[in-house]
Each structure stands twice: as C-alpha cells, then as structure tokens.
A and B are shown apart, each in its own frame.
Chain A
Amino acid sequence: MTLTLTVLTWALPLSSAIVPWTGVRARGIGIAVAAGGTGSLAAAIVLSVRIVAGGPFKLLDGFVYLDSLSAFFVVTVALVAALAGVGSYSYLRAAEDRGELSTLQVRLYGTFFSLFAALMLAALQTGNLGLLWVLIEASTLASAVLVALEARATSLEAAWKYIIISSFGVTIALVGTLFVYYSAILIHVSPDQRLTWPTLFAHASVLQSQSLRLAFLLVVVGYGTKVGLAPMHTWLPDAHSEAPSPASAMLSAALLNTGMYAIVRFEALTTPELGRYANDVLLIFGFASLLIGALFMIGCENFKRLFAYSSIEQMGLIAIGFGFGGVVGTYGALLLVLNHAIGKSVLFLTGGEVVHRYQTRNVGEVRGLLTLSPVTGLALLLGSLAILGSPPFGLFLSEFTIVRASFAGRASWLGFVLLALLVVAFMAFARTTTGMVFGARRDGAPSAAASYQRVSALPLVVGLALLLLLGIWIPTGLNELIMHSMRAIG
C-alpha cells in the first residue's frame, strides 16, 4: 500500500508527460497536467499520514526511502504541482487562443512540466544520495526546457544561464557527495549502503570529520546554487522572469525547496561529528541571501523578477531557520518551506494573469489592477501581504518563529539584523505591488477579459485560503508531520 502510494506520487505526473503526444490539444494537455498534479497531491497526503503512523518506509537497499521529512517535502512539492498544474490549464488555453505557442511548444510544455514534477517528487523519495543527485540534475534539465519554451531571445538567454550555472553548481554537489561517500570508508557496509542516507545517519558519529567538513561546504555551494542562495543565485531572477508563469511557480516553490531538502539531509549527517559547523555555514549563506534578496527588490522594474528576488530572500530566511536550528528554528524553517511554497505559487500564477492581461512584465505599465480585474488584483494584494509575512497569513507565524529562534541564539544581535532586513524587503516589495494593485488606471490600458477566468482563479483562491488557514491554525496532522520530520533529522 505504501509502495503503491510512493509510486503514484511520481508516476501520475509522469504519465501526464506522455499525454501530449497522443494528439490531444491544449485543453486535453492542460487537464492531464492538472490531473497529474492533483492526483499526486492526494497520494502524497495519504502517504504522509501512513509514514507518520507507521515510520520510515525503505525498499531496494534504500534506493527508495521515505521518512517524515521526505513526506513533508513531497506534500509541499505535490501541492505546488497541483496548484501550478491547474494554472497550466489556463496558461495553455490562453496561449493557444492567442496563437502564442505552436502545437510543438504546447506539447513540450505538457511533457516537460510533468517530467519536472515527477523528477522532483522522485528525488525526495530516494535515500541514495547519488540517485538524489541524478534526479535533481535531471530536474534542472527538464525545467531548462520550460524556461526556454517561449523562445524569445531573452528566454533562451535565461535558459542558457540557468542550465550552465545550475549544472556547474550541481556538479560541485556531486564532488561533495563523493566526499561524503569517502568519509564513510571506515564503516563496514556494502558500497551501496555507504551512499544511503539512513545508513550514513545511523553511523554519523564515525564519519571522517575532515572530509565531511569539505563535503558539506561543497554540497551547500552545489545544491545552494539550486536553492538560490547568494552568491550562487545569479541564474534565478532571469529564469523565473522568463519562464511561463506556472513554470516559474514550480521553479520557485518546488525546485528551490527540493534543493533545500538535499542540504538539510547533508546537514543532519554532519551534526554529530562537526557540531554547529553546518549551522554556521547555513547562517552565513542565509544572511547573504537575505541581504541580496532584500536589496535587489528595491526599485525592481520587472514584477516577476521582484517575486524571484523575494524567493532568494525567503530561501535565505529558511536557511537561517535551519542555521539557528534547535526545535524553534527548525520548526519555523519547515513551516516557512510550506507557506512560502503556497504563497509563491499564488504570486507567480497571479503574475501570469497580469502578464496575460497587460502583455508586459514591467511594473510601471501595470496600474489599477484592482479595477481591471478584482480577482487578480485582490490575489496580488493578499498574496503580497502573505509573502511579506503579515498576519494573519501562515508566513507570519513561520517568520515570527524564525525571528524568535534568532533572539534565542548565541548572538541576539543577529536577530536585529534579521528584522532590519525583513523590514527593507517588506517596504521594497509592498511599495511595488501596491502600486500595481491600486494606482490610477491609464488610458488605453488593456482591458481584455481574461479567458478561463474561473479556472485561473481556482488555484489563487485555494492557495490564499490555505495560507489563511495555516496562519490561524496548524492542523494536528501537519504539526505531527513537522514534529516527526524534526526527529528524523535529529
């Protein structure tokens, strides 16, 4: 049963990847993509309940390994795949109506979007660190096609930057994985097991500390490239702004989290031997990202880039949460992973609606969204407030928890730095988006009614409702899942 669910979570999106080549049109492809994501989410939720109740699930020498931490990230990524999958439906229909995408492009979108989702979901469910690398690199390749999909000169440029920087970064992570493998040479198990996370975790206190130290640094630089940690973040704003909006949502809300998941796994391995070393590394990269993200948000002219810099900032915050560690920090970080994923999906999908209406990504040309389209305007306003951590949304609670962890840490002045950077980010972001939402509508601004408005509003409404719910009340099941996840990594 658990095995079936495990397979379903990634096989459902994988099967949607074949649908585009059966001759169906954009509508059918859109439905397949949405169904794949939604089905995967349903399987992931049932799966996580079973994992929490029955403990880790291990198969094939640890090539398949699921504990609560994997289940938590699987639910997060599947949720994003479901929201962005429904968003893909309206994106594909609208693009077909306007003749923006050729049949081939629509098919490529359907295939690679589904493949992208399936690869990430599979990556979260393997205990083999080598296979984890293979799947994460494969997800880079699948998503690079999505970034290049609209085939403008700028999107090809962004895709090139993305694929070359990410592939290089992830190759560095492979070197890190190599050194982790090497650090386990004194453990007498089979070579396969030496690369398997549960085995390594069980023997974490006898790993060679010198090579482990090097390995973790390489892993953070490598997978940190995928997470968008500064200074390895340079591909991120380009790729996020040039990709089709549902794909941007997947990049920002699913891919970055998958990279973070990999880093957390490695962090857990280092703790017994190296103590706070990994935490300090994460704090340094986290604060650098928060700083870069917040500063580049000031005066950002392209709203999709703005959202991308906000992702860098939020990922930095998550790294800081794990960096402070302890019960409070880790809890806050995991909660933020989920909330940020939902919030960023909503924002990028809203951004897609705005691009669709105004045919621009320039902030200055978008004014009076609320009067033009109340649903989109309201979603942008509420989504912005949510992502900035205003109460009563879920991000407030998670960011507040991380700030609390920072003041409880060794150096409470870091807490003040954290707060100051968050305020900068808040002002830069809110100033831009409120201008877009309110502002005076210009003459001649496009007012074409969005097609498929009901479908495109669905993920926005669901996402915002979830954020609101998580801000007021954390469901018992989720709380338990997070608690179990924390126990799984020490």
Chain B
Amino acid sequence: MTPPTSADTILLNLASVLILLCAFACLGSKLFDRYLGYYALQSVLLSAAAAIVAADLRDAALWALAVLTLLIKGVGIPIATRRYLVTRLSLKRDAAITLGLSTSLIIGAGLTALAYFAMRPATLPGKLLDTAAVPLAMAVVLLGGLCMVVRRHTIAQLLGWLIVENGVFLGAITLVATFPFIVEAGIFLDLVAGVLIMVALVSGLAQRLATASASDLRSLRG
C-alpha cells in the first residue's frame, strides 16, 4: 500500500473533523429530529471518507463499503428511525438529559483531548495513513459513549451507539484501510439487525409504559 497523496490526506482530515463536529452537534442538541439529522450527515461524511480512502488505495471492497454506508447509515437508518419512532411516538424535545448541554460539551472537549493523548504517535508507530483521523475517530467513539451516558431517552441512547459505531468505522478505514470484506459485511449485518431489534424494543416499551425514556426504567435494581 502506498501512502496517500497530500490532497487526499487533507480531504480525509477535513471529513474526519466534520464527522467529529457532527458528534459534538448531537451532544449539544435537544431535539430528536436534530439528532437524526446530524447522524445522517455524519454517515454521509463517513461514506465520503471511505470513498476517499477507496479512491486512494483503488480498493473495490472499500468502494462497496462506502456505498453501503451511504445507503444504510446515511439514508436507511435515519429514515426508518424517524418514521417508526420519532414520528409515530410524536417525539420532539428530549427532556431526559441528565447533564446541562454546556457541561456535556466541555466534557466532550476533554474526551477529545484524551483521545489525542491516548493516540499519540508513540502508541502508533509506522502509521499506514499519515492523517489526524485516528485520534479523531477515537474522539467520536468517546463522544458517542458520552451521548449514551448523558441522555436517558432510549432513542438518544440508540443514536449514541450508532455514533460510536461510526467512530469505529472511521478508525477502521483510516488505521488499517479495512478489515476483510466479509467481516465488514458481517458488522453491517449486525448493525442493521441490532437497530431493528432496538426499534422493536423501544416501540414495545413505549406501548407498555407510555414512555420510552430510560430514566423511567428503574424498576430493576439491586
């Protein structure tokens, strides 16, 4: 594998930064529609990042993954989640946030710094792609986790997990180009099945409890 040209590196870095900003935007928002919008945008950017690496390495499998990402994460999941959860349960504002938005943004900034610290060059000798994307990807993973912790609503937690997954994917394409295609395809399959089961669970919870917020899920303790 040849190292990418500098133009590609710049584009990839730009895409990664924007992906990180989408995660921050999700963290700083209170409306379910916005969560989904930022997630969709992030996935489209991710697909672009995959396409950049694919063009650079001339890798057919990566092209396929870029298309899959666009179709499933960029279009399929956001539309399905909006139609079957947000619209049907008429959700607007997320009231179940345990931490103020500004506080969570500050913590998010701290986590980004932590990602840079953990991924400093000494940890990763002889990088395949000379980009800043790897620490950015880890920051996205951490921010997604933070979204899941700070937000108590099941749909917000689901989106947090999806952001984590996006971060891992970004890490995969920038750190090691790609896993074997069959593995990547399996990861996609798991993701889709997971979202389907989670959507079913959330609908079931909404039916049973007249709420789908995890902050009301407190009967199991001890």
Binding site of B, secondary structure by majority: helix, strand, loop or mixed? helix
Contact between B201 and A171, CB atoms less than 8 A apart: no
Contact between A151 and B124, CB atoms less than 8 A apart: no
Q: Which of A127-135, A273-281, A413-421 contacts B (4 or more CB under 8 A)?
A: A127-135
Contact between A211 and B179, CB atoms less than 8 A apart: no
- Mark interface residues in A190-212 (1 if CB within 8 Å of B CB, else 0): 01100100000000000010110
Alpha-carbon gap, A148 to B198, bound state (A): 11
Alpha-carbon gap, A238 to B208, bound state (A): 18
- Mark interface residues in A155-179 (1 if CB within 8 Å of B CB, else 0): 0111111011001100110110011
Residue tally, chain A, CB below 8 Å to B:
53
Q: Kindly state whether residue B4 has any CB partner on chain A within 8 Å.
A: no
Q: Kindly state whether residue B209 has any CB partner on chain A within 8 Å.
A: yes
A300: which B residues are within 8 A, CB to CB? 222
Contact between B171 and A134, CB atoms less than 8 A apart: no
Cβ-closest chain B residue relative to A309: B222
Contact between A141 and B197, CB atoms less than 8 A apart: yes
Contact between A185 and B220, CB atoms less than 8 A apart: no
Q: Which one of B118, B165, B202, B219 contacts A214 once the chains associate, using CB atoms below 8 Å?
A: B118
Cβ-closest chain A residue relative to B121: A210
A179: which B residues are within 8 A, CB to CB? 175
Residue tally, chain B, CB below 8 Å to A:
47
Q: Kindly state whether residue A100 has any CB partner on chain B within 8 Å.
A: no
Given contacts A131-B186, A186-B126, contact A164 B220 (CB under 8 A): no
Contact between B180 and A153, CB atoms less than 8 A apart: no
A296: which B residues are within 8 A, CB to CB? 222
Contact between A168 and B201, CB atoms less than 8 A apart: no
Contact between A134 and B187, CB atoms less than 8 A apart: yes
Q: Which of B39-47, B103-111, B154-162 contacts A (4 or more CB under 8 A)?
A: B154-162
Alpha-carbon gap, A182 to B177, bound state (A): 10
Contact between B157 and A185, CB atoms less than 8 A apart: no
Q: Which of B18-26, B66-74, B90-98, B188-196 contacts A (4 or more CB under 8 A)?
A: B188-196
B154: which A residues are within 8 A, CB to CB? 160, 164
Alpha-carbon gap, A130 to B183, bound state (A): 6
Alpha-carbon gap, A404 to B200, bound state (A): 49
Q: Kindly state whether residue A95 has any CB partner on chain B within 8 Å.
A: no
Q: Which one of B125, B145, B183, B194 contacts A195 once the chains associate, using CB atoms below 8 Å?
A: B183
Contact between B187 and A174, CB atoms less than 8 A apart: yes
Closest Cβ of chain B to A240, distance in Å, is 11
Supply 26 A–B pairs (Cβ within 8 Å), ascending by A: A128-B183, A133-B183, A135-B186, A138-B189, A141-B194, A148-B204, A153-B205, A156-B204, A159-B201, A160-B154, A164-B157, A171-B168, A172-B141, A174-B168, A175-B168, A178-B171, A178-B175, A178-B176, A191-B178, A210-B125, A211-B123, A211-B124, A214-B123, A237-B222, A242-B220, A301-B222
Residue positions of B touching A, CB distance < 8 A: 118, 122-126, 128, 138, 141, 145, 148, 154, 157-158, 161, 164-165, 168, 171-172, 175-180, 182-183, 186-187, 189-190, 193-194, 197-198, 201-202, 204-205, 208-209, 214, 217, 219-220, 222
The 8 closest A-B pairs by CB, nearest first: A130-B183, A134-B186, A238-B220, A157-B217, A153-B208, A137-B190, A210-B123, A192-B180
